Amino acid sequence: MSLPLTGPSLAPKSGNPPKQAVILLHGLGADGDDLIGLAPYFAQMLPDAEFLSPHAPFPCDMAPYGRQWFSLRDFGQDAMLRGLEAVRPTFDSYLDAVLKTRNLTEADVALVGFSQGTMLALHCTLRRGKPIAALLGYSGMLVAPDRLIGEITARPPVLLIHGEQDPVVPFEAMDLAARALDALAVPVLAVARPGLDHSIDDEGLAAGIRFLTGAFGEKQA
């Protein structure tokens, strides 16, 4: 069974078949090569995890390079929702293929998103049939939270991390997402990074590593 999306990967540090899969979802104008560099840091604490960083399916329409999960020419909620709904079947097929080819379940999978990748992760995984182990979202937002009220089917633990000086996705988006998720009984934590722009810093990375390690803790025992 081939994967609907392709991109770089990192095999388990242990050398064993993967017991977990961590899927890294890049932001607008980047590609899978952008986030795979984080994998070795996570692998130090998750030696049995395979790391996958798929390229988004579409060329970026706002730059002469890079990829996008959906267009952000229109940053309105309705336009973004349409884009997410359009790409959702592709991502769901990809995740299903990852599970099947590695003989894993949703409880063995975590998503790490950045910016648009966080938007995708939140939109899709909260509407899956079963919850994944964890969702770690950097510098993103929850698109159309009102729609989620009637559509949520899974409640994985979520950690949101966002720079207070983000000029791309407003810092306030983190609190709005956290409030909406908490109201829907999704276990959610939010971590603000003072002085940080639209990026991931060492403290945010360390917090994410601790979060995923804890989420997979029972599986590793």
Nearest to 110 by CA among 120, 125, 96: 125
Of the residues 115, 123, 139, 162, only one is catalytic, namely 115
Name residue 113's beta-bridge partners: 25, 137
Which amino acid makes up residue 136?
Answer: L
Q: Crossing angle for the helix pair 116-125 and 77-102, nearest 10 degrees?
A: 70
- Cβ-in-10-Å burial (0-12, 13-18, 19+) of 134 comes to buried
The question of whether 123 is a catalytic residue gets the answer no
Q: Three-state DSSP class for 20? A: strand
The question of whether 115 is a catalytic residue gets the answer yes
The question of whether 34 is a catalytic residue gets the answer no
Both structure tokens of 33: 């090569």
Of the residues 71, 175, 198, 201, only one is catalytic, namely 198
Question: How far is residue 161's CA from residue 138's CA, in Å, rounded to a whole number?
Answer: 5
Largest CA distance in the chain: 46
Give the pairing of strands 134-138 and 58-59.
unpaired
Let me know: does 193 contact 170? Beta carbons within 8 Å. Answer: no
Of the residues 31, 48, 108, 166, only one is catalytic, namely 166
Count of alpha carbons within 13 angstroms of residue 86, beta-carbon side: 13
Give me the active site residues, please. 115, 166, 198
